[in-house]
Amino acid sequence: MRSSIYYTLLLSFLTFVDAQNALHNFGNLQIHDDGQLGLHTNLINNGVFEDNKGLVGFYNSDNELTISGVRSPRFYDMDVAVRDNLNLEINTRVINSVSYRQGNVVTPRDKDFISLDYLNEAIYVFESNNKLTDGYASFVGVDEFIFPIGDDRKLRPIIIPFRETTQKFSAAYFNEDPNFPSSFDTSFDTNEKVGIINQVSVDEFWDFNGDAETQVILTWDGASNIEDLTTELLDIRVVGWSIANEQWEDLGNFDVEGDLNTGKITSGLFVPDDYEAITFGGLVEVEDLVAHNLITKNGDEINRYFIIPGIEAFENVLTIYNRWGKIVFEEKNYKNKFEGIANKSSLFQEATLPTGLYFYVLQIFDGENSKDIASYLYIQ
């Protein structure tokens, strides 16, 4: 911590330290060139505190500090050395750099519009498990950016790649089960997922926001328990809780590095605002395929189709036979759309098949290997 702070300030008469031991700005507070301002008290900013060139430091070895008010301050350089936390009750913007020297920068997890905002080419240093943004951080710019976010003294950044146009994205990390989120009004049920996803992480998730299409890079460590999702590195996926469909959807695996203990995965392109949470998922594996063996033709949507959850993840051929061994239906890369209408038998071509017991063979091509699954299907 600095033993002394030298500063050059332009102060209006409406900037003062109030009875609550806080620097209360109603006027125009400005730091010029290489000026430095060290605050050992709270900052209440209701005036202009934007056109800064120097450094603002928040220092207190005994207590937490807070930035509040009705107008967001904008700093050039920001220094944080506070016992436990520097709490943000309003957006705080940084143009050049943030130094996480001691303590966390904390934002409200139930108010994603309040964040520590990194503008353009702003950077940060000294981040660690005990020195991070606990809550929401945002970035406005085109460069690759690694969000210095975490939870429960655990640094868990996500990364956005370079973009051609300036966009704003924000993110927060939650070290908790998405089935029981502490800061959201809804649950992200890990049993509600698209067919090709077999498992969704119950250990952690991120809230990632932005209205422009992007990729995202997630990292994992031993505490992520990736081995609970899959045994194959290539079967790890980024998954997102769709706001429109209320289920976990596959956001892709554009690239993956590492092993099941530590690594990182790059998603495909998606719009973050379409998803309320993102985390890791594992693809369905061949041994996980279980067919629903009943089709009912009674006019409702229940059991309308022959469903094999997860079949979309595999190259396959489905062949269905009647009791006399005649092929009545065959399709390459089956997509769960058979509803009891033949496409092979000359007797039943494009007609609804009669009630009865049928048999199927599902040939799965998994890389260089293939596997046949044979069972029965009843049409009623």
Secondary structure of 53-85 in the HEC alphabet?
CCEEEEEECCCCEEEEECCCCEEEEEEEEEEEE
pLDDT, tens digit, 9 for 90 and up, residues 223-274: 999 999 988 898 899 999 999 999 999 999 999 999 999 999 999 999 999 9
Higher pLDDT, 14 or 252: 252
Backbone torsions φ then ψ of 311, nearest 5 degrees? -65, -25
CATH class assigned to 286-379: mainly beta
pLDDT higher than threshold 70 for residue 19 = no
Domain residue ranges in the chain: 9-283, 286-379
Q: What is the pLDDT of residues 98-114, one digit of tens each?
A: 999 999 999 999 999 99
Confidence of residue 295 (pLDDT cuts 50, 70, 90): confident
Q: Is residue 12 scored above 50 in pLDDT?
A: no
Alpha helices in 105-211 (DSSP H): none
Q: Which two tokens stand for residue 125?
A: 């240093």
What is the model's pLDDT at position 347?
A: 59
Report residue 44's pLDDT band, with 50, 70 and 90 as the boundaries.
Answer: very high
**In the structure, what pLDDT confidence band is assigned to residue 357 with cuts at 50, 70 and 90?**
confident
- Joined tokens for residue 174: 């939650």
Q: CA 177, 178, 183: angle at the middle one, nearest 5?
A: 100
The pLDDT > 70 percentage for the chain reads 92
pLDDT digit string (tens) for 179-217? Answer: 999 999 999 999 998 877 889 999 999 999 999 999 999
Q: Which of 99, 154, 90, 146 is nearest to 124 (CA)?
A: 99
346 versus 83: the higher-pLDDT residue is 83
Strands 369-379 and 294-295: parallel
Whose CA is closest to 109, among 17, 189, 14, 184? 184
pLDDT for 138 beyond 60: yes
Per-residue pLDDT at 189: 97
Q: pTM value?
A: 0.79
Q: What pLDDT, on a 0 to 100 scale, did the predictor assign at position 15?
A: 54
Task: Give the whole-angstrom CA distance, residue 169 versus residue 155.
Answer: 18
Rg (CA), the chain: 28
> Is 122's pLDDT higher than 50?
yes
What's the whole-number average pLDDT of the chain?
88
